[in-house]
Amino acid sequence: MSESANDHGALIHIRTSRRLVLPCLLLGAFAVAPATSQAALYGFSEQQPEMFTNPLYQDLSKVKIARYIAPYDVATDARDKAIFDRWYAAARADKQRVLVSFYYDRDRPLKLPSTKLYTSKMKAFKKAYPKITEISPYNEANRDARKQRRFAGPSAKQAANYYLAARKVFKGKKYKIVGLDLLDGNSIKPSIKYLKAFQRYTRKHPNKIWGLHNYSDTNRNSTKRTKAVLAQVKGEVWLTETGGLVKLGTSFAYSEARAARALKNMFKLASNKRIKRLYIYQWSPGDDQFDAGLIGKDGSPRPGYDVVKKKLG
């Protein structure tokens, strides 16, 4: 996402660097599984540093983690680095544990980096930010919008190469690497197919942490997509991005009440004992195409904020 438009099958709305991906979410409601335990850590996936000093945010005492989506070359691009540094300083001041997810170069969104170039940029990032120990090699790797001329997504093989490259750069027990950030999407079948291919390419170096953006389940009162991913992988699953959609293109008309209900379902989904983290997207209001914000454009809390505050306040 960028000052232009963040592309997210339900992704990030970065005023400073946002891409706009409109995922087609599957219709149909399903019963929510009973809670078994609570997600170990809660936080936000949000690009706006102003969130950390907002009094409404400060009331959420159980928020311990924060996620940022950055271009893979953020450490060497002066413009993107300045934007990230401002966010990172605010997150550190708030004592948040930071997870950085990488994606395409904003200036060349249709060109994927070679593994060699990607590796060099990861080394630059590690050198520039030695205190950041949690990364996700590629955000929503299974999402591709080349046909719409918005951005390119890696094949499962290339995503595996990025993951393996990140493992070589970020060595040591202190680092946590999310092997794959997966978007559930309209039908879960293509996502599972992509996941299985990724697993084949990384079978000699399996990962222990998986990222899932389960917008479809969250906003359709469903569980089947999340369950399908949990059944396919071993280890921890982090909901690295999810939230209640106030507005999504023509798929979801504007409704703050519906988004609040979706957030309740989000917490139920996160109660699975294997789900160790939940990153809510997003805090700030979005635009006419994608909006999952907990606050409105006037800064006032939406009904969804009350749902989150009841859980995390």
Strand partners, 190: none
Pull the structure tokens for residue 158.
């290339």
Q: Provide the pLDDT for residue 39.
A: 65
pTM: 0.88
Mean pLDDT across the stretch 269-291? 96
CATH number of the domain enclosing 16: 3.20.20.80
CB within 8 A of 125, min separation 6: which ones? 74, 75, 100, 132
Strand partners, 211: 181, 238
Q: Would you say residue 13 has pLDDT above 50?
A: no
Q: Provide the pLDDT for residue 228.
A: 98
Alpha carbon distance 7, 313 (integer Å): 30
Q: Provide the pLDDT for residue 14.
A: 34
Alpha carbon distance 121, 12 (integer Å): 22
Q: Would you say residue 33 has pLDDT above 80?
A: no
Q: Would you say residue 143 has pLDDT above 70?
A: yes
Q: Would you say residue 53 has pLDDT above 80?
A: yes
35 phi-psi bin (left φ>0, alpha ψ -120 to 50, beta other)? beta
**Domains: count for the chain:** 1
- Please report which confidence band the pLDDT of residue 284 belongs to, taking 50, 70 and 90 as the band edges: very high
Alpha carbon distance 293, 295 (integer Å): 5
DSSP at 244:
-
Alpha carbon distance 185, 180 (integer Å): 15
Alpha carbon distance 198, 159 (integer Å): 7
Q: Would you say residue 5 has pLDDT above 50?
A: no
Mean pLDDT across the stretch 83-95? 98
Q: Would you say residue 23 has pLDDT above 70?
A: no
- Please report which confidence band the pLDDT of residue 38 belongs to, taking 50, 70 and 90 as the band edges: low
What pLDDT digit, counting tens, does each position of 181-238 carry?
Answer: 999 988 999 999 999 999 999 999 989 999 999 999 999 999 999 999 999 999 999 9
Alpha carbon distance 49, 35 (integer Å): 33
- Which structural domain range is residue 226 located in? 5-312
Alpha carbon distance 218, 245 (integer Å): 9
> Tokens 């299974």 sit at which residue?
142
DSSP at 145:
B
By percentage, how much of the chain surpasses pLDDT 90? Answer: 85
DSSP code string of 211-236: EEE-HHHHHHT--HHHHHHHHH--SE
What is the Cα 161 distance to its own chain's centre?
Answer: 20
More confident residue, 225 or 16: 225
* Total Cβ atoms within 10 A of residue 249: 14
